[in-house]
Amino acid sequence: MPGKLRTELGLASPDDFYESLIGAHEGLSDGQSELLNAKLVLLLANHIGDNVVLTEALAAARAGIEPDQNPSA
Amino acid sequence: MPNAPDLALFAFAPCPELAGEVRRHTVAIVGAGPVGLTAAVDLALHGVSVVVIDGKSNVSEGSRAICWAKRSLEICDRLGTGQQLVDQGVTWNEGEVFHGDELIYSFNLLPEPDHHRPAFINLQQYYFEQRMIERATALPQIEMRWQHQASDVSVFDDHIEVAVETPAGIYTLECDWLLACDGVHSTIRSSLGLDFSGRVFQDRFLISDIHMEADFPAVRRFWFDPTFFDGQSTLLHKQAEGVWRIDMQLGWEADPEEEQKPERVVPRLRRMLGDIEFDIVWTSVYTFTCRRMERFSHGRIFFLGDSAHVVSPFGARGGNGGLQDADNLAWKLALVTKGDAPEALLDSYDSERIPATDENILNSTRSTDFMTPKSRVSRVYRDAVLNLARSHEFARRLVNSGRLSIPAIYSDSPLNTGDTEPFEQGPPPGAPAVDAPVASPQAPDERRWLLDQLGTVFALLAFDDGEMDWPRLQTALAQCQPAVRLLRICPPDAADTEGALIDRWDIAAFRYDGAPGTCYLMRPDQHIVGRWRKCLLPEIEDALNRALARH
Ligand SMILES: Cc1cc2nc3c(=O)[nH]c(=O)nc-3n(C[C@H](O)[C@H](O)[C@H](O)COP(=O)(O)OP(=O)(O)OC[C@H]3O[C@@H](n4cnc5c(N)ncnc54)[C@H](O)[C@@H]3O)c2cc1C
């Protein structure tokens, strides 16, 4: 079912963006990277604003990731 | 507790049942906490006789409720204690949130002027109870019985029996209706084997009430990761008579016994307060929960306040939510006992207060989850929000140090009559009435408050159109069963202002979108039943019948 979330190419300059995304984490510890990612998600989510788009994005991101049955094992 | 205030004590008195007399009370209330007392006074003002029993002989001790919301004050105004509470309490509207030492967000809960009551006052729970006990004691319909402890309850088709233990022996209390206001460990609930399920938050909070002469403003101050405390968050809030409330988040590993010892508490507070002299009034360590019963009404027994539901205190939704339970049930039960409404009206207690409770639980849960993140990822997002909030406005709205109590809107209540015409503004059906300054024709420049004019009856608030035959409408409304009071609102230049309220400052018409001819039918608890653009008696009567569950 086509939703409101755009999944065809929207990035103006995909390779440049990807490089800056990885580049933004340069020199950071895993913990700092985690913080950066979280800040980025919040900034972008606020920019989008539309709850329908955000809900679809959450579902699309979660798709195919199943929780471990027994995470400690 | 050496610095605890002198709290009122109440003597045990025997009752006729102890002398072997059999009595059937119309309404009995178990528990003289804020909620039981509110329900008792409300019922009494509706002319219903009530007996209230409490196992204690004093008001509530220790660190409990301090924040009383605007809606609670409006309820107390209706019951006659509002002004005393405001006079004794500390009025506040503002809050500040810090991350470390930096102020990241501040809020004003009452941005709109021209309301009688502030967003909040802070007043120790025992003073709230004391004022309400004085009020109850002055009402002939209320009989207070201290040191009367309920130990069991039996349900019959046409009445309830409560087993009561007193210093002078045991007796059976018989009543038509029972209000279980006996708090979170409700004896009535457990005697009936009823459920009480929900969530425990795996964290511990050190709650201290201290006495100090400090010139901090009466602002709710909340710190995430304060530099003066190695825990995760701290709340500072002013109470009456130089007492301050400090909540410190200790973490789940903390040992509650150890943490309450003065040698642990004093240095913690010292680091926060520096050189200021202080005395500890009370300290305790709490773990918070959010729980509720599946249903609050069980035949002739109703659960109100903490016996029906508990929330974590960030948001001040426990006591304030409980007062709304009492406000909701009292008029319904009063009309049913007087034969003015069918028993079906009582079903709306659940249909209105359960969604309201869920809203309180949802908000308290979200605040507590934000404050006490329980997974790595929730901790990371919380830190990201706090980090962004310093420079980005949107993130301040995500910071959650408590979403403070606001009154429930009974949007889906079966008692409502839905809008048939458009309204731009104004409280919709199910919402509580909104306050506004008004004047009387005799004193056109003196501010009075609209909510004070509503009383504890059904009322029709009508905006004058200069055409309606008001005396005739007034007579017809007075003949309704129960009677409806007419409150006519006129613009200052109206020709006939006799017996009307003057919208001297143009605020009432604005807040109610009150174009000429508009009217609002209000219940005795001041919630809106329905609203129309023209005062037509058949529509009003139909809505009144629906609000009384006669349909
Ligand atoms: C640290 C803390 C801070 C809080 N802050 C706030 C706040 O700022 N604002 C707010 O609105 N709420 C706050 N609350 C919640 C608030 O204290 C409660 O929601 C409120 O006390 C509930 O009132 P109640 O009348 O339902 O129950 P209670 O206050 O618990 O009263 C129950 C009464 O029933 C009596 N009783 C119990 N069992 C029996 C029996 N078997 N027989 C006879 N009598 C019995 C008890 O003696 C007691 O008097 C806070 C709570 C805590 C712990």
Q: Tell me which residue of B150, B119, B121 sits closest to B53, measured CA to CA.
A: B150
pLDDT at position B1 is 45
List C-alpha distances in Å: B448 to B36, B78, B208, B474, B495.
Answer: 30, 14, 39, 22, 21
Task: Give the mutation candidate from A36, A42, A54, A58 for the B interface (greatest B CB count, under 10 A).
Answer: A42
CB B66 within 8 A of CB B351: no
Residues of A in contact with B387 (CB under 8 A): 35, 39
B180, B186, B188, B194: CA torsion to nearest 10: 110
Regions of chain B with pLDDT less than 50: 1-2
Q: B34 CA to middle of ligand 1, Å?
A: 7
CB B26 within 8 A of CB B176: yes
List C-alpha distances in Å: B319 to B150, B167, B398.
Answer: 22, 30, 25
Domain boundaries in chain A? 28-61
pTM of the model: 0.95
Pocket test for ligand 1, best of B63, B121, B182, B314 (most atoms within 8 A of CB): B182
Complex ipTM:
0.94
Q: What is the mean pLDDT of residues A37-49?
A: 98
Q: In the structure, how many helices (H) and strands (E) does chain A have?
A: 3, 0
Q: Between 2.40.50.140, 3.30.9.10, 2.60.120.260, 3.40.50.300, what CATH number should domain B198-289 receive? A: 3.30.9.10
Residues 6+ positions from A27 with CB-CB distance below 8 Å = none
Secondary element (H or E) of residue B210:
strand B205-212
Of B380, B392, B394, the CB nearest to A38: B380
Count of all residues that appear for chain A in the document: 73
If you compute the radius of gyration of chain A from its CA atoms, what whole number of angstroms results? 15
Residues of A in contact with B380 (CB under 8 A): 34-35, 38
Q: Tell me which residue of B121, B101, B102, B99 sits closest to B110, measured CA to CA.
A: B121
Instruction: Note whether A48 contacts B: Cβ–Cβ < 8 A.
Output: no
Question: How close is the nearest chain A Cα to the Cα of B255, in Å?
Answer: 27
Q: Tell me which residue of B168, B132, B135, B161 sits closest to B32, measured CA to CA.
A: B132
How far apart are alpha carbons B521 and B97 in whole angstroms? 40
Domain boundaries in chain B? 4-88+122-197+292-363, 198-289, 437-547
Question: Residue B482, preceding bond cis, omega within 30 degrees?
Answer: yes
Q: B186 CA to middle of ligand 1, Å?
A: 10
Judge residue B110's burial from the number of C-beta atoms within 10 Å of its C-beta, 0-12 exposed, 13-18 middle, 19 or more buried. Answer: middle
How far apart are alpha carbons B201 and B31 in whole angstroms? 27
Report which ligand 1 atom has the smallest distance to the Cα of B37: 25
pLDDT at position B202 is 86
pLDDT at position A71 is 58
- Per the model's pLDDT, the better-predicted residue between A41 and A71 turns out to be A41
Residues of A in contact with B394 (CB under 8 A): 46
Instruction: Note whether A46 contacts B: Cβ–Cβ < 8 A.
Output: yes
B350-377: pLDDT as tens digits: 999 999 999 999 999 999 899 888 899 9
Question: DSSP letter string over B299-340?
Answer: TTEEE-GGGTEE--STTS-HHHHHHHHHHHHHHHHHHHHTTS
Task: Find out if CATH 3.40.50.2000 is the number for domain B4-88+122-197+292-363.
Answer: no
Instruction: Note whether B192 contacts A: Cβ–Cβ < 8 A.
Output: no
Question: How close is the nearest chain A Cα to the Cα of B539, in Å?
Answer: 39
How far apart are alpha carbons B135 and B155 in whole angstroms? 31
Instruction: Note whether B10 contacts A: Cβ–Cβ < 8 A.
Output: no
Beta-sheet pairing, B169-180 with B301-303? parallel
Of A34, A35, A42, the CB nearest to B395: A42
pLDDT at position B374 is 82
Average pLDDT, chain A: 93
CATH topology assigned to domain B437-547? Glutaredoxin (3.40.30)
